[in-house]
């Protein structure tokens, strides 16, 4: 029994660490993309730096991809184990009495976000890898034109209404996921004491501001391409 509890705690801590890592990444990713709202040149320069810096490309990027995969796989594993445990311990489990609607639907919001990540990879990451490492073009410039291509590519992606709608829906689900996941990650790391109220308030702010920021970016480039 002790071994099971220890392994269960270890899984939750690992899940929390991967969540905190992704929370930090989202802030950085949003900060870079927000620059596209007021300066195409700054966005292009930052994108080119992020896309060609060896430390970011060959160290941080693989860690990020591993973190994303690990977080979602671990999340699904924990959900399956928790569901089995509830079925064994309770003849009738009243989830509404002990948890919020957001926490009970984490598996569904997570699945939606995972589907969005696949779309995001198809839209941006795979074409970028193809351009840089298969075609061998590390210049970041548009053929026959001056300046980097990143801003124009970003605007081009947000022309179709269906893609903008998909991004908006995905970030709404991200907000719901973060509304519970942010606080849960800190609790798993031991912040369930006098800092609980502060963490909860910070989580609410984060789960609203970050998804809303990405939604504004998608809408801005759709209406200003």
Range of lowest pLDDT (27-41, 74-88, 89-103) = 89-103
For residue range 46-67, list pLDDT tens digits in order.
999 999 999 999 999 999 999 9
Q: What is the mean pLDDT of residues 156-168?
A: 96
Query: Is the separation of the CB atoms in 114 and 79 below 8 Å?
Result: no
pLDDT band with cut points at 50, 70 and 90 for residue 74? confident
Task: Walk me through the domains of the chain, giving residue ranges and CATH numbers.
Answer: 2-94+101-223 (1.20.1300.10)
Query: In this predicted structure, what is the pLDDT of residue 4?
Result: 43
Query: In this predicted structure, what is the pLDDT of residue 45?
Result: 96
pLDDT band with cut points at 50, 70 and 90 for residue 78? confident
134-141: long-range contacts, CB 8 A cutoff, minimum separation 24: 138/52, 140/44, 140/47, 140/48, 140/51, 140/52
For residue range 99-128, list pLDDT tens digits in order.
677 777 788 888 899 999 999 999 999 999
Residues in contact with 32: Cβ distance below 8 Å, sequence separation at least 6, in sequence order: 43, 46, 47, 50
Residues 176-195 as b or e (16 or more Cβ within 10 Å = b): bbbbbbbbbbbbbeebeeee
> What is the full DSSP assignment across 37-98?
GT-HHHHHHHHHHHHH-HHIIIIIHHHHHHHHHHHHHHHHHHHHHHHHHHHHH-SS--HHHH
For residue range 195-219, list pLDDT tens digits in order.
678 888 999 999 999 999 999 999 9
């Amino acid at each position: 029994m002790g071994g099971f509890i220890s392994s269960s705690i270890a899984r939750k801590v690992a899940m929390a660490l991967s969540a905190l890592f992704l929370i930090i990444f989202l802030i950085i990713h949003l900060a870079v993309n927000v620059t596209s709202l007021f300066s195409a040149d700054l966005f292009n320069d930052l994108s080119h730096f992020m896309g060609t810096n060896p430390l970011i490309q060959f160290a941080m990027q693989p860690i990020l991809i591993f973190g994303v995969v690990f977080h979602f796989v671990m999340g699904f594993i924990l959900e399956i184990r928790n569901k089995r445990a509830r079925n064994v311990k309770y003849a009738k489990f009243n989830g509404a009495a002990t948890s919020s609607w957001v926490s009970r639907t984490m598996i569904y919001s997570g699945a939606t976000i995972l589907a969005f990540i696949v779309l995001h990879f198809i839209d941006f990451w795979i074409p970028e890898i193809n351009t840089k490492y298969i075609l061998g073009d590390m210049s970041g410039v548009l053929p026959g034109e001056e300046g980097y291509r990143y801003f124009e590519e970003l605007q081009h992606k947000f022309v179709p209404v269906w893609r903008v709608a998909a991004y908006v829906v995905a970030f709404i689900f991200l907000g719901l996921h973060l509304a519970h996941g942010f606080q849960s990650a800190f609790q798993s790391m031991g912040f369930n004491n006098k800092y609980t109220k502060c963490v909860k308030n910070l989580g609410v702010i984060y789960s609203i501001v970050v998804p809303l920021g990405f939604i504004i970016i998608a809408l801005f480039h759709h209406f200003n391409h």
